[in-house]
Amino acid sequence: MTLVYLDGAFLPSGEALVPATGEGALFGRGVFETMRARGGRVFRFDAHLDRMERGARFLEMPEPDASAIGDAIVELTRRLAIEDARVRVTLLAGAAAVDGEAASLLIQARPATDYPPKLYERGISATVAAVRRNEASPLSRLKTVNCLDNVLAREAARAKGAQESILVNARGLVAEGSASNVFAVVATEVVTPPIEDGALPGVTRAAVLELARDAGMGAGERSLTLREVESASEAFVTNAVMGVMPLVSVGGAAIGEGRPGEVTRAMMRLYAAAVDGACQSEAM
């Protein structure tokens, strides 16, 4: 049975129970972070926890203890003997009407096998989600457990043989992927939609923008139409577990030459080197 961390204890997953009266379970009031831990270390761990804290404050929940979470990730991955782990940290609200019912902190880990090497070599395809992203909602800027739009969009993509789905906002502009931020290479510039268009402020997204600029590439945020992404010379998507993944087609139409391009491969190398360097030199 899989081991998890819940509210200070390491338990078999079947014994990890949260209160039935909690607003996290009843109404989806909660926040989470998905990270990749190598040897217990997470690239830009502080940025992940900062985002989680912002979400908890907005939802009027107790803020997570970054130090305790960092220690728990190290110990959980050690106990599970996972050197390269996909880690999810979830904070679920307690019951508003019950005095003293605190938020529940759950940490899960499993081997990071979501994205096999062949996907990076050939790139992935995406569909366009039927659901629209409401960019006016403050929830579009938070990583909450209330994310069924994204889950359903991704399931629909996989049913069609694609690995990702692109969400467009109410104004017809690209917001993000169902589980990723979207980047397009337009006239040699690396471009990603702004937060105001409904994009989650991704930790990996921010890192890629910084790395591109440090490498002397043109990189920035601006609104993108679906047509601009489809007609870009290259495109890629990012998240903390996959890193930088080439996106080679949308809706069945090839992007550029239909294979990972030079800019994308350069960003893959820069990001991998940054993660490797940080995880070798930084402690939680």
Query: Residue ranges per domain, the chain?
Result: 3-111, 117-278
| Gap between the terminal Cα atoms of the chain | 27
Looking at residue 281, its pLDDT comes to 59
- What 3-state DSSP class applies to 276? helix
Please state which of the four CATH numbers 3.40.50.300, 1.10.8.640, 3.20.10.10, 3.10.620.30 is assigned to the domain occupying 117-278: 3.20.10.10
Looking at residue 218, its pLDDT comes to 94
Predicted TM-score of the model (pTM)? 0.94
CA-CA-CA-CA torsion sign (69, 196, 166, 220) = negative
Per-residue tokens: 196: 């105001």
Dist CA 21 CA 18 (whole Å): 9
Dist CA 10 CA 210 (whole Å): 37
- What 3-state DSSP class applies to 283? coil
**3-111 carries CATH number 3.30.470.10:** yes
Dist CA 228 CA 236 (whole Å): 13
Looking at residue 183, its pLDDT comes to 98
Looking at residue 102, its pLDDT comes to 85
DSSP alpha helices (H): ranges in the chain?
Answer: 23-27, 45-58, 66-80, 117-122, 148-159, 203-214, 226-230, 262-281
* pLDDT digit string (tens) for the chain, length 284 residues: 699 999 999 999 999 999 889 999 999 999 999 999 999 999 999 999 999 999 999 999 998 999 999 999 999 999 999 999 999 999 999 987 555 578 999 999 999 999 999 999 999 999 999 999 999 999 999 999 999 999 999 999 999 999 999 999 999 999 999 999 999 999 889 999 999 999 999 999 999 999 999 999 999 999 999 999 999 999 999 999 999 999 999 999 999 999 999 999 999 999 999 998 877 655 43
Dist CA 162 CA 165 (whole Å): 8
Q: Give 174's strand partners.
A: 168
With tokens 């081991």, the residue in question is 3
Which among 140, 128, 58 is positioned nearest to 93, based on CA atoms? Answer: 58
253-256 CB contacts, 8 Å cutoff, 24+ apart? 255/229, 255/230, 256/185, 256/232
Looking at residue 67, its pLDDT comes to 95
246: buried, middle or exposed (CB in 10 Å: 19+, 13-18, 0-12)? buried
Domains 3-111 and 117-278 share a fold: no
